[in-house]
Amino acid sequence: MRCLPLLLLSAALCAPSPLYADEAAVMDRLKALEQKIDVLEKKLSDQEKCMKDQESCIADQQKKISEYEAKFKDMDQQLHRQTGPETLVTDGLRIGVGATMVVQGTDNTNATEEKKNSKADASFSEDITILKEFEGLNSQAFIHLEAGQGAGLTNDLSLYSNVDYDANDEENVTVSEIWYEQGLFSDKALLTFGKLDPTAYFDNNEAANDETTQFLSDIFRNNPAIEFPDNTLAIRAAAIPVDWLELNYGVFDGDSDWDDIGDNLFNVGQVTFKTGFFGLPGNYRFFGWSNKSRHTKWLDPAKEKEGAYGFGLSFDQKANDIITLFARYGWQNPKVFNPDITASGDLNYSLKHSWSAGLQIEGKPWNRENDVFALAVGQAIPSKDYKSAFDTPLECKSEGHLEAYYRFHINDHLSVSPDLQYIWNPFGKDIADDTEGIFVYGLRTQVDF
């Protein structure tokens, strides 16, 4: 009996107190809240990550859009003849002015009565370009004014492809180009219409496409086996579906007379693959064309309403940071000729195909990084039907061209280019009493305002 009080006291001391039970409940609730907070923090972290991914995605899309816009701007600038640094007059209005003077001499004027006669001639041209960008409308307008004086040596030489593409014996100011261009589908496409220069969009080349700063000879400016019309009424569409592919299609007045345009259409389409082999840029262009203006069949002159057609390619590729390689090839229907296309005088002819190749070297190795040396060789190959069309047998040899120039960069507004050319088998050796090669020496001065 004496142990009973002790047992009761021990039981009382070991039983949990109400205060201790409340603290345990609070601790359990705190742990539950901490777990909920961890879950919420994880969800919030996931949401923040998702938001960052969305922002990154939006940034990538904006970057791609900016790249497309830059590509189209660069493409459009490269497609047109450069006239030196442009002056920004007001927002979106740019004016460029350039002047080119060419002096050339030769030891053989094979188109004159005094053949094998030495002669020197000059030519001068001036270009004014005005470009207005309408940013709110995603479009732009362009006008190119041109004037010139002097035919240079072009009237003194009978060749399949002449020696001074810049010669422009038109003293009055003419509108060479005037067009309006609209960007479409977030600048993934362009539509251009007005008076257009077809060589600004087709058969273009980074190393051989501008007679004011690059090669002077016609065969290296564009392929002579392509029957491009003069600047005329036209519409052109372009697209860049992906960053390595450009598509161009144009419809032009084939005889450039602005009359009966539906009967004389010149159609041309071009695909350009923009590559980056070994981290170096390149352009590989493939195109085909047709001309519905009137042509005459060589072996059946009664057929005077024939069409012409052909295809070609134009490549340029950076070999390293200073050397650019280029090549061209063109073929056309050899059975017909355009009576409006003649050599000096009234000599009709037609080519079957033509090729050219060359290189351009920048002057960095000799501490003249803005200077350029370039060399090119090519041939214009006449049609066999043309050879067989005359009673008197023709030689119809392939006319060869070699040209080299060095462009001295004097300053940002002045460059001077000595230029040497040699032509063998001139006009296929079919100039009476004159089959010798022709050497042409020259000097070009380019002033940009």
Classify residue 269 by burial, with Cβ atoms within 10 Å: 0-12, 13-18, 19+: middle
Query: Structural domain of residue 75, as residue ranges?
Result: 24-79
pTM of the full structure: 0.81
Residue 409 belongs to some domain of the structure: yes
Residue 91 has pLDDT above 90, yes or no: no
Do both 276 and 186 map to the same domain?
Answer: yes
If DSSP codes are grouped into helix, strand and coil, which group holds residue 23? helix
Under 8 Å between Cβ of 233 and 255: no
Q: Is residue 211 part of a domain?
A: yes
Q: What is the pLDDT of residues 355-384, one digit of tens each?
A: 999 999 999 999 999 999 999 999 999 999
For 271-320, what is each residue's pLDDT tens digit? Answer: 999 999 989 999 999 999 999 999 999 999 999 999 999 999 999 999 99
* pLDDT score for 440: 98
Can you tell me the distance from the alpha carbon of 215 to that of 102, in angstroms, rounded to the nearest whole number? 12
Taking 90 as the threshold, does the pLDDT of residue 204 lie above it?
yes
* Mean predicted confidence (pLDDT) in 119-128: 94
Cα–Cα dist 327/332, whole Å: 18
What mean pLDDT do residues 29-54 have?
A: 70
Q: Is the pLDDT of residue 351 over 80?
A: yes
Are residues 62 and 160 both part of a single domain? no
Distances (CA, A) of 223 to 100, 218, 238, 415: 22, 8, 22, 26
Q: What is the CATH number of the domain that holds 103?
A: 2.40.160.180
Instruction: Say if residue 80's pLDDT is above 80.
Output: no
| 1 belongs to a structural domain | no
Q: What's the confidence (pLDDT) of residue 72? A: 47
Return the percentage of the chain with pLDDT > 70, whole number. 84
Give domain status of residue 90, yes or no. Answer: no
Same domain, 112 and 74: no
Q: Are residues 205 and 350 in the same domain?
A: yes
* Domain match, 63 and 179 both: no
Structural domain includes residue 139: no
